[in-house]
Amino acid sequence: MARTTFHGDIESAGHEVVIALVRDWLAQPQLSMTLRRTGYETTYRDDTIEVYCHEATVPGTGDSFYLLEGVVEAEPATAAQRLAVLAGACRAAGIDCSIDYAEADAEGSAIGAESTIE
């Protein structure tokens, strides 16, 4: 089966906004974020997608954003359509989002050219 890895970032001042976007995107209303020592994070996995999203900060500024990474069990064109839904929801909410994706081998290593969705 084809696999596509992705990584990106979502700019936001609050975890409530980010988790709402990710919940809607994954159609998982019970999904929540857990507070860890370094900020909020969430993970999700099913037969079609694996997602890890966590809070990060810009050193020296205190500004936060969220990093997103994972694997879509699909070829890059299909994965791009799915990832574009999240990017579009972020745009509609007035939040910057950028997601890079590439075809991957069975171990999750990129084997194709990387593309970006904004």
Residue 73 identity (one-letter amino acid): E
Per-domain residue ranges of the chain: 21-66+79-100
Task: Determine the average pLDDT of the residues in 1-26.
Answer: 92
**Mean pLDDT for all residues in the chain:** 92
pLDDT at 30: 93
Q: Can you tell me the distance from the alpha carbon of 2 to that of 30, in angstroms, rounded to the nearest whole number?
A: 28
Task: Determine the average pLDDT of the residues in 4-21.
Answer: 92
pLDDT, tens digit, 9 for 90 and up, residues 28-81? 999 999 998 878 999 999 999 999 999 998 766 767 899 999 999 999 999 999
pLDDT at 109: 84
Q: Extract the tokens encoding 11.
A: 């700019």
Could you tell me if 97 and 83 are in contact, meaning their C-beta atoms sit under 8 angstroms apart? no
Could you tell me if 102 and 110 are in contact, meaning their C-beta atoms sit under 8 angstroms apart? yes
Task: Determine the average pLDDT of the residues in 88-98.
Answer: 96
Which pTM does this prediction carry? 0.90
pLDDT over threshold 90, residue 22: yes
